[in-house]
């Protein structure tokens, strides 16, 4: 059985990795571990995740009330509590501000398309929530429906939140979210983003089942056409975060064609 001391050291290690990977800056982000039904170990408010010490962490009850620790709970603890209340299988939650993934929401672009094989069979698709004022009671509300079916969610203009079987699992998922955003951005800059075919997606989900990866990896339709389903906005997710900007895609495609013509490539 993992001791509280080990949990503290694990959170500090994950915080340092998030800081070094640019998934958080300044005092942004927060990390928690559910040690028991009524006990959470969490990062406090106002501390850099890259420079924490084990004794900086606090213990709260299942309502977010501090039980022990010198510092104060983060106002974002409510987001973590909402996830634990919805998902008995989740033992850790990580919230960070990955810059490229966040930029996608500001541009009104979705990362819910089935594009990268490793993302499909580990995370499924990555939906985006409606906008909620940071630290407000709106935050837990906009993830309510999505977190039931996804381990990784992008918060409109406010980073991403991931759920895992332990703190390292949750960390790897937020790292995967940002990697997906970086690859998708590069693909958009190079040309048109190609989605996986329905057969390829089915095979990937079969692989996931065979590997018994656990967690949630639901495919949320984002109107990319790969699964053959019509676009249906998800409850709890914004249209700009879930549905690709098809008009913009058409403009980008036309511009690229004209550039290629000018260069004598078509």
Q: What is the pLDDT of residues 212-260, one digit of tens each?
A: 778 888 876 555 555 555 434 333 334 333 333 445 555 545 555 555 5
State the pLDDT at residue 244.
39
- The structure tokens listed for 103 are 């930029």
State the pLDDT at residue 220.
64
State the pLDDT at residue 230.
41
State the pLDDT at residue 224.
54
* 97/90 Cα distance (integer angstroms): 21
Q: Which of 4, 9, 76, 232 is catalytic?
A: 76
- The structure tokens listed for 204 are 């990937």
- At 205, the pLDDT band (50, 70, 90 cuts) reads confident
- What average pLDDT is seen over the chain? 86
Residues 109-129 have a mean pLDDT of 91
Q: What is the pLDDT of residues 54-105, one digit of tens each?
A: 999 999 999 999 999 999 999 999 999 999 999 999 999 999 999 999 999 9
- At 265, the pLDDT band (50, 70, 90 cuts) reads very low
- The structure tokens listed for 116 are 């990268």
Backbone angles phi, psi at 80, to 5 degrees: -65, -45
Q: What is the pLDDT of residues 104-115, one digit of tens each?
A: 999 999 998 899
State the pLDDT at residue 258.
56
Please report which helix (H) or strand (E) contains residue 30, including its range: strand 30-36
* 41/217 Cα distance (integer angstroms): 26
Where is average pLDDT lowest: 1-5, 139-143, 226-230?
226-230
State the pLDDT at residue 235.
39
Q: What percent of the chain has pLDDT over 90?
A: 66
Domains of the chain: 4-255 (3.40.225.10)
Catalytic, 76? Answer: yes
* 181/173 Cα distance (integer angstroms): 12
Higher confidence at residue 132 or residue 247?
A: 132
Half-sphere exposure of 22 (CA within 13 A, CB side): 7
- At 261, the pLDDT band (50, 70, 90 cuts) reads low
């Amino acid at each position: 059985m993992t001791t509280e001391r080990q949990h503290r050291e694990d959170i500090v290690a994950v915080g340092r990795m998030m800081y070094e990977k640019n998934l958080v800056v300044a005092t942004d982000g927060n990390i928690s571990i559910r040690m028991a039904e009524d006990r959470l170990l969490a990062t406090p408010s106002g501390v850099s995740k890259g420079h924490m010490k084990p004794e900086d962490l606090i213990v709260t009850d299942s309502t977010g009330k501090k039980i022990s620790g010198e510092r104060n709970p983060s106002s974002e603890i409510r987001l973590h509590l909402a996830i634990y209340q919805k998902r008995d299988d989740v033992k850790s939650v990580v919230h960070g501000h990955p810059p490229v993934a966040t930029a996608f929401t500001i541009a009104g672009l979705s990362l819910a398309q089935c594009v990268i094989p490793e993302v499909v069979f580990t995370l499924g698709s990555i939906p985006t929530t409606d906008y909620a004022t940071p630290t407000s009671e709106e935050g837990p509300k906009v993830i309510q429906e999505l977190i039931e079916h996804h381990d990784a969610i992008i918060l409109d203009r406010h980073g991403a939140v991931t759920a895992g079987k332990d703190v390292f699992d949750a960390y790897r998922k937020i790292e995967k979210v940002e990697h997906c955003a970086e690859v998708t951005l590069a693909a958009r800059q190079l040309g048109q983003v190609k989605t996986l075919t329905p057969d390829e997606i089915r095979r990937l989900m079969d692989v996931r089942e065979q590997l018994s990866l656990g967690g949630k990896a639901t495919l949320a339709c984002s109107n990319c056409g790969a699964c053959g389903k019509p676009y249906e906005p998800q409850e709890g997710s914004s249209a700009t975060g879930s549905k690709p900007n098809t008009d913009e895609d058409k403009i980008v495609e036309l511009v690229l064609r004209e550039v290629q013509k000018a260069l004598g490539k078509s």
